[in-house]
């Protein structure tokens, strides 16, 4: 096998492992409703790649090893996503609201304070 083909082969494996890591991250992000998910993305991709590489390094370099590396990449991506999301939520806690806004206050359906164009300063006449 030529070095170029070998490089393409290895890059294909990393692309598949990262794809599985991003799928696991997306599932974790949906479960967490997006809170703290973005900082966990690089952790999920790195963990999925590391777990995928670890399987062939243990000696399983046949078809069973390939499928086992896919499973470990997904599992490691899920664990790293959950850990990264938990860490990010502890690092940057969300601000809680103290009840619903009053009816005429904030975003309304065209009322005062709705943020519509009529609330802006009037245009200057030329």
pLDDT tens digits for the chain (126 residues)? 898 888 998 899 899 999 999 999 999 999 988 888 888 899 999 999 999 999 988 888 888 888 999 999 999 999 999 999 888 888 888 766 665 666 665 555 555 555 555 556 666 777
Nearest to 76 by CA among 34, 38, 39, 22: 22
| Whole-number Å distance between alpha carbons of 12 and 26 | 21
- H helices of 3-112, in order, are 3-31, 41-57, 63-91
19 phi/psi in degrees, rounded to 5: -60, -45
């Amino acid at each position: 096998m030529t070095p170029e083909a070998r490089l393409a082969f290895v890059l294909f494996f990393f692309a598949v492992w990262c794809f599985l890591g991003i799928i696991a991250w997306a599932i974790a992000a949906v479960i967490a409703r997006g809170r703290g998910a973005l900082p966990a993305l690089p952790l999920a991709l790195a963990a999925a790649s590391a777990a995928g590489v670890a399987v062939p390094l243990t000696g399983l370099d046949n078809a069973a090893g390939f499928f086992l590396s896919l499973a470990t990449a997904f599992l490691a991506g899920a664990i790293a996503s959950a850990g990264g999301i938990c860490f990010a939520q502890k690092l940057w806690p969300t601000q809680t609201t103290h009840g619903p806004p009053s009816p005429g206050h904030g975003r309304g359906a065209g009322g005062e304070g709705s943020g519509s164009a009529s609330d802006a300063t009037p245009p200057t006449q030329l």
